[in-house]
Each structure stands twice: as C-alpha cells, then as structure tokens.
Chain A
Amino acid sequence: MRRFLATPLGGGAQALAVAAVLALVTYGSGGLSGLDRATVWLDLGLFALSIALMWGYGGILSFGQATFFGLGAYGYAWLTTDTVGMNLGALGSLLGPIFGLLIAGLLALAVGYFLIYGKVAGAFFAIVTMALSFMMASLGTYWSGVFGGSMGISGIPPISIPGSSALSTRGEVAGYVVVAAVLVVVVVVVRLLLGSSFGLLMDGVRDNEERFLFLGARTAQIKLIVFVVASCIAGLAGALYASDARFVSADLMGNLLSVEAVMWVLVGGSGSLIGAIVGTLAVRGVGFWMSGVSLDYWMIGLGALYIVIVMVGSTGLAGLGRWVMDKGSSAAARRREKGGRVAA
C-alpha cells in the first residue's frame, strides 16, 4: 500500500481522493455554491503544488510565483474576452489553459535565464522574484488596455466545448471535474519527473549545489528547467482559476498571493506534492469557515499557525500524515513479526 502511494499513479490516486473528499464535504455543506468555492481552492492547490515542486524538491524558493499564476490567468482571459481583441469564444476557453501555461513558461524562461545564469540564488532569488511580482502587479494596474487596469477583467466564460453547451450549463460540477482531472494528471506527471534520472539531478542541486557543480553537473541548467516547469504549472493553475473565478485582476500577479502560496506549502509540508494541495485546502477551507465567525481572529490565528509550523519544523501536514502512517506500519510490522514467530 505504502509503496503504491509513493509511485506516480499512487500520487494521482491520492490527489483524486483529496478532490473527492473535498467535493463531498463542500457540496454536502454548501451545495453547488460550496462546490464552486472548492473549485477555486483546488486551482490554488495546483498552484501550491508548483511551488512545492520548485522549493521542496528543487531547492529554489521564489516569493514571486504569483507572477506566473496571474499571467496564466490573464492568458485565459485574453483568449476568451474582448479585452485585447483575441476573443476566440469556446475554442479560446479550450486553448486558454495551454496558452496560460505557455506564456507563463516563456516569461519564466526569460527571467530565470538571467537570474539563474547570473548566479542569483538563495535569499536573493526569493527577493528578486518578489520584486518581479511587485512590478508585474503594478504594470497590470497601470496598463489597462491589456490587464484591465484597476478594474481587472470580468465576465470571463468557463471552459466549454465549441458548439455544445455540455460543459458550460452545469458549470459548477464540470468546472470541478476539469480542475480535479488536471490536478491528478499533473501530480502523476510531476511524480514521473521526480522519479526520472532528472529527479536525481534535482536532488543533487538541492542537497549540495556547489559539490554538484564541481562534479561536472550543469546546475544552472537543471535549476532553470525546474523553474520553468514549475512556472508552467503555475500558469496552468492561473488559467483554470480564471475560468472558475470568472474574474482576474492585477493583484493575482502580486506579492500577497505569492507569499500566501508559500505559506500554504509550508502548512502542507514543503517536501510533499499532496501536502501542498492539502495545506492549501486546509488554510482556505478553515479560513472560509472562520471568516463567518470573525475574519480578524482568523488572520491572527493563521499568522500564529504559520509561526508554530516554522518553529516546530517544516514537514507540515504531510509530516503528520507520514508520522501516522509510520505508527500504523510499524504496528503492522510488529503483528507480522509475531505471526512469523508463531509460524516458526
């Protein structure tokens, strides 16, 4: 069981299980509007996963990943609304996620090339990407012809199939199924990546970059690939977000979301893809529930939770899950051992 969960398909199964539980809980407690909210949380969970890949596995911390998430969201909006005159209607809604992924990846390639080959690393990388996020959000606010200015872009249609209303009429359910399916596929693909020989190269860069360089590793190239892949996933998540939230604005590229998403990953445990998704859902879900009680208290409580997690250790919810499973499996091992002795 545990071995299966560690495989690419096992990761996909875990993501599917998380999505199914979330759907049951939110639909059960809030009906279709509950499911609609959960769809957006799942988009954000996919975004958090991209950060977990880059940070937990690649060792690159960026405080500016919302730049790519937001750009992906705009990519979808540009193809499906009249903002920049590229409205392709339903076809645009199908191409939108791919387009969002591509433009986020291209920007990451350009920015990453200069930063990573320019030997900007560690805390400096986090700070420079943060500045990038700030710049893009400001640019979005002022450049209203392209980014919709301070009003953003509204009236974004959901994903739909051309000539059919199959997806768009039952928007909530279809939207949820689409993002859940994408999430499962991305988890499987990322797990395959981590299990490839390239995953081992990522381990080397994360664990001791300098040692690896002097063994002949192309560390900059490895980091650039990780940065671009993670940013592509962020762009894809952003595009799905735009199709679900139906509204994008320049803050999506800004600092708040950039930093918040890192926090979600921290809550989930930075060394786990599923943990990042669960962390996002936990913070968002509890936040939504608490905001009905008191938004102020929730923000204070959340801040305290972050501090505790950082101080206790960065394994987060995933660490808790592993700890529980270890307890379970060592108990099972003890049982097996006992049985074995009896048999002998």
Chain B
Amino acid sequence: MLPLEDGRKAVALLLETVDLGVRFGGVVALHDFSVGIDEGEIHGFIGPNGSGKSTLFNLIIGRYKPRTGKVLFQGRSLQRLSPDQRARLGMSIKFQTTSVFPGLSVLENLMLGIVGAQAPMRELRRKAWSSAERESAEHMLETVGLSEKSDQPAGTLGHGEKGWLEIGVALATRPRLLLLDEPTSGMGLEETNRTIELIQRIRSGLTILVIEHDMEFVRAVAERITVLFRGGLLTQGAYDDIKNDERVIDAYLGRGREGVLSQS
C-alpha cells in the first residue's frame, strides 16, 4: 500500500495485524501474527482449541494489549485506543460466550446498540427513543427475526435467540467490521442454518471476521480462511485449498488419522 499524495493510504485493507504477539504467564498465546483483511470480505478463522483465535479477536477489540506488533484499522494504529474508542471507530463483536443485557427487553438491547456510543452529557438533555431510532431498532428486530419477542427480557430468550440478538446489538452500532466469535456454538442444525442466512442477509457493506469450529458453516460463509495453530499462522486460502492441506489435517487431528475435514 503506497501512501497517496494527500497522505491518505489507498485503503483496500480494512484491518491489518502486523507481527502481533502476546503471552500470558509463560505461555505464548499468539506470535508474529500478520494478516490483512480486505474491505467487504468474510474471513474465517479456524484452528484447534488454544490456537489463538479468540486471543486474536481480543487483541483486535482491545481487551488485551499486545506484547509485540500492532493492529491497524483503516490504516490507523489502534495501539493507544481503549475498547470503546475502537468500537466507535466502527468495529463490533459478538462474544464467544453470548453476552446481552439480560434484564432489559429485546428492543432495549437493540436500542443500546443504537445510542450506546453517544456522548452521555448530550443524552442527559434528550428524550429516549426518537422515532428514527425506534424505527431502526424495529428494523433490526426484523433482521434478526425477533420481532415477536421485542418486549421480552433478553435473559429469557433461548440460547440461539440470544446469539442472534447479540449479533443484532453489535450490528445496531453500524460497524464496518463485525467480529463473530463462534456464532453457532451450541446451536443445532436448524439454528446454524438460520445463522448462515442471517450472515448472508447482513453482509452487504460489512466486513466480517468469524471464528468457527463448524466446517460446514465456514464453507458456507467464508471467502477466505486463515488457519491458526499454536499461536501462529499455519496457512491461508479458500476452503477448497485448506481442506486438503496436509498441515491443516495434521493440526486438527494429529498425525495418522483420517481427514474428517475432507469428508464434506
């Protein structure tokens, strides 16, 4: 990427990690990790448990501070930015362990996504629920398929519904980058299919990073896949390249076993 004459970069990459690394105690959770994410793509991250996928997400959103390297978002280093500042730049996450506002209604949950990032002092002088905000909350309700549960406390939703609500809340902030950490974990086949449909429906204008174990899911949504292994980048490519890669099969299954990955 060459700088343009007016100083801006010709940004094709929305997100970039450069030599990113972090360790906890003596354990290296991620090391020398460099990856570039194109604007508009859906990028899958796979790898065995403990390979560093969630750590990578946490470094991007600012929950962890990297020990080495940096994260660039729209060409800008996020080094000194707090989680909420990063979110306001246009990134949003659905956590691995579903996290919504359990005591508030489904509609209020979405509303918090819409107004949450506003300056608090300004909100003091403003009545809640302007008609435009209410409309976009209701629109989001439809998108995630929870219109009929709009007044129900989020804590009483089913597992899958909570997951969709969290995706909706994350989307309500109007991010450019959406991170989904195992969006189908604990879901059955039908719920997984609905999640795939949801992602297809929301993807326009959005860049999505998704961590998944479900290979069918990854195949269905991700255009490019990065495989992590022991905190490093093992390989990268389209699904068909990845699934026959010996190293990937080894990493997932250990040596000497049949390639379950290629069964699909």
Contacts and interface: CB of A to CB of B under 8 A. Distances in A.
Interface of A: 193, 195-201, 203-204, 206-208, 210-219, 221-222, 225
A230 to B, nearest CB: 14
Given A200-B108, A200-B111, A214-B61, A225 B101 contact: no
Given A196-B124, A197-B115, A204-B116, A215 B102 contact: no
B83 A213 contact: yes
Contact of B125 (A196, A199, A203, A218): A196
Closest 5 pairs between A and B when the two form their complex, measured CB to CB: A216-B87, A216-B117, A197-B123, A207-B101, A217-B116
B189 interface: no
A236 to B, nearest CB: 18
B118 interface: yes
B61, B63, B104, most chain A CB atoms within 10 A: B104
Interface in B100-141: 100-104, 108, 111-113, 115-121, 123-129
A217 B99 CA distance: 15
B209 interface: no
A197 B99 contact: no
Contacts of A200: 108, 111-112, 115, 123, 128
28 contacts: A196-B128, A197-B115, A197-B118, A197-B127, A197-B129, A198-B124, A200-B115, A200-B128, A201-B115, A201-B120, A201-B123, A203-B101, A203-B103, A207-B102, A210-B99, A211-B95, A211-B169, A212-B112, A212-B116, A213-B87, A214-B61, A214-B87, A215-B87, A215-B117, A216-B88, A218-B120, A221-B120, A225-B124
A217 B101 contact: no
Nearest to A208: B101
Contact of A199 (B87, B95, B103, B128): B128
A215 B127 contact: no
B180 interface: no
B173 interface: yes
B87, B102, B116, B119, most chain A CB atoms within 10 A: B116
Contacts of A213: 83-84, 87
B92, B103, B115, most chain A CB atoms within 10 A: B115
Contacts of B108: 200, 203
Contacts of A215: 87, 92, 112-113, 116-117, 169-170, 173
Interface of B: 61, 63, 83-85, 87-88, 92-93, 95, 99-104, 108, 111-113, 115-121, 123-129, 169-170, 173
A113 to B, nearest CB: 14
B99 A208 contact: yes
B45 to A, nearest CB: 18
B99 A211 contact: yes
A207 B116 contact: no
Main SS at interface, chain A: helix
B78 to A, nearest CB: 14
A213 B84 CA distance: 5
Given A214-B84, A216-B88, 12 more contacts: A196-B127, A197-B123, A200-B111, A203-B101, A207-B101, A208-B102, A211-B100, A212-B116, A217-B112, A217-B117, A221-B121, A225-B121
B108 to A, nearest CB: 7
Nearest to B82: A213
A198 B118 CA distance: 9
A225 B115 CA distance: 17
Contacts of B115: 197, 200-201
A243 B41 CA distance: 67
Contacts of B120: 198, 201, 218, 221-222, 225
Contact of A216 (B100, B102, B173): B173
Contacts of B119: 218
A196, A197, A204, most chain B CB atoms within 10 A: A197
A199 B124 CA distance: 8
B84, B88, B113, B170, most chain A CB atoms within 10 A: B84
Contacts of B102: 207-208
A266 to B, nearest CB: 19
Contacts of A198: 120, 123-124, 126
B84 A218 contact: yes
Nearest to A202: B120
Contacts of A216: 84-85, 87-88, 92, 116-117, 173
A196 B123 contact: yes
A217 B84 contact: yes
Contacts of A203: 101, 103-104, 108, 112
Given A214-B87, A215-B173, A216-B88, A201 B100 contact: no
A201, A207, A210, A215, most chain B CB atoms within 10 A: A215
Contact of B103 (A197, A207, A218, A222): A207
A208 B100 CA distance: 7
B183 to A, nearest CB: 16
Contacts of B121: 221, 225
Contacts of B93: 214
Nearest to A211: B99
Nearest to B98: A211
A195 B169 CA distance: 21
